Chain A
Amino acid sequence: MSRAVPAAVVAAVRRSVSQVCDPEYPEVTIAELGILERVSSTDGGSTVRIELVPTMLGCPALDVIARDATDAARAACAGADISIEVAFVDSPVWTPDRIAPSAVDFLAREYSVAVRRRSANASCPICGGTALEHRSDFGPTPCRSVEWCPQCRNPVEVVGRVEFPAATGAAQSSPAAMGAAQSSPVPA
């Protein structure tokens, strides 16, 4: 027997999964971080499919995020005979541009973490200084680099693309290459 999941259930799952928080930043949701890509009913089946975009392929939090998303989805369709499928997709590729402005502000204010978007250089989330000095490509997590703000004399962690040498510069303009660069610390 095949049937589609009612649209209202899909919407309820979407609402519920949107509220799942990041394991490290429990005040920021996976929707705000641009990790939640799509919630849909799979063709003809009684399954709701949740597509997530990993910030990095090697991110150690992926299992926890998948489990939390599954739990949230189950809670939203409690009692109904519906299976939940959670998948990490490799397209689109996550970039810092996917982080919602509200989350960018929150990370800066609460965690002193800056987000480097493709369009602009990162500035110091503490004092607004723009002369950040690069100290390390990787910080406590591989998705953040470590900079030093000489103006307020604080270390600053920056989410986003590590600046690689000019040799790889041409490839950096495509989002796919940026994703690849993030998961492989050694420039070609």
Chain B
Amino acid sequence: MRRWDSMEDFEAFLDGGGLVEPGDDMPDPYRQAVFRFIELHANSEYMGGLTERDWIAKAPGLTNKLTALAKTQDEVGHAHLLYMVAADMGVKTRDEMTADLLAGRTTFHNVFHYRAHSWGDQIAIAYLVDAAALASQQAVFKNCSYGPYKRILRRIIAEEGFHMRNGEELLLKMAKGTAQQHDMMQEGIDRWWWPSVQLFGPDTRPDDVLLRWHIKSERNEDLRDRFVQKMVPQLQAAGFTVPDPDLRQDPDTGRWVSGEIDWDALKAAIAGRGPDSERRLRDARNAWDGASWVREALDEAAAVPA
């Protein structure tokens, strides 16, 4: 077990690229900040898995159903790994985290507070939301100071990259499809563009401890900007428009500049006042209660001597 005499020593260790391990005597504010970050990530993976699950039956064709099934497994599996690491930090038990999530006492990402209306929405999520989430996770992984979290992120990033590739393929398929498919895809982009941009969060404050303690490695605004620079030309090349009337290209630099971002929408969604928050949480509670017999059966099976 490693100890640090002062916060200055600890921060110097982090600045030197040191990895904190579970047995280390880490400063409590660091433990709390890392825990909250992982809990938010775990909650979001779990809620994302439930969203994906809704599309197993509805996705058109067997291949898309298999993909939805695999993505559901991915997201729930990621949540499982993240909750294991979070629970080990000794701040809350796994049961407490579950209870807090289902009661709406803890948060999950804004994008899971909206409803996916159509298959076009679902592709827009795979294309935009997965890309935004992947960019954020890559930025955390790059410089992440908590060993167990960094190791899980390595695998999550590999798997989310596969999701994003799937989203790109589906988007291009819709782009080359019938006028109806094209319109459905455009409606999906119109609904999911802003939540995806907002997912990165408002500009990072200079005193953000997540940056100082190497949990994040980049400012929100830099990640958001890179997302816009990448996505706008891709969407336009595929024949779609970006639903931002004030979007413009800087004539000197060639860079895309977004219009005003509605941060109140982000705050409302995260606070559980998003357009679909109530139904999402109700679905999550139903899923949890509906699976209670599985947990009981597993507990009973584990109690039987082999």
Q: Tell me the A residues contacting B by CB distance below 8 Å.
A: 23-26, 58, 60-61, 63-64, 110-113, 126, 135-136, 138-142, 146, 148, 152-155, 157, 165-166
Contacts and interface: CB of A to CB of B under 8 A. Distances in A.
Interface stretch (B4-12, B67-75, B205-213): B67-75
A20 B80 CA distance: 31
A126 B151 contact: yes
B247 interface: no
Nearest to A139: B77
B216 interface: no
Please classify the interface of chain B as helix (H, G, I), strand (E, B), loop, or mixed, using the class held by over half of its residues.
helix
Interface of B: 21-23, 63, 66-67, 69-70, 73-78, 80-81, 84-85, 88, 147-148, 151-152, 154-156, 158-159, 161-162, 165, 306
B271 to A, nearest CB: 29
A155 B22 CA distance: 12
Nearest to A25: B158
Contacts of B81: 139-140, 146, 155, 157
Nearest to B23: A153
A60 B77 contact: no
A153 B154 contact: no
Nearest to A166: B306
B84 A148 contact: yes
Contacts of B84: 135, 146, 148, 155
Nearest to A63: B63
Contacts of B161: 24, 26
A135 B85 CA distance: 13
Contacts of A154: 22, 85, 147-148, 151
Contacts of B159: 24, 140-141
A87 B81 CA distance: 35
30 contacts: A23-B165, A24-B158, A24-B162, A26-B158, A26-B161, A60-B67, A64-B162, A110-B154, A111-B155, A112-B155, A113-B155, A126-B151, A135-B80, A138-B73, A139-B81, A140-B73, A140-B76, A140-B80, A141-B74, A141-B77, A146-B80, A146-B84, A152-B22, A153-B21, A153-B148, A154-B148, A155-B81, A155-B84, A155-B152, A165-B306
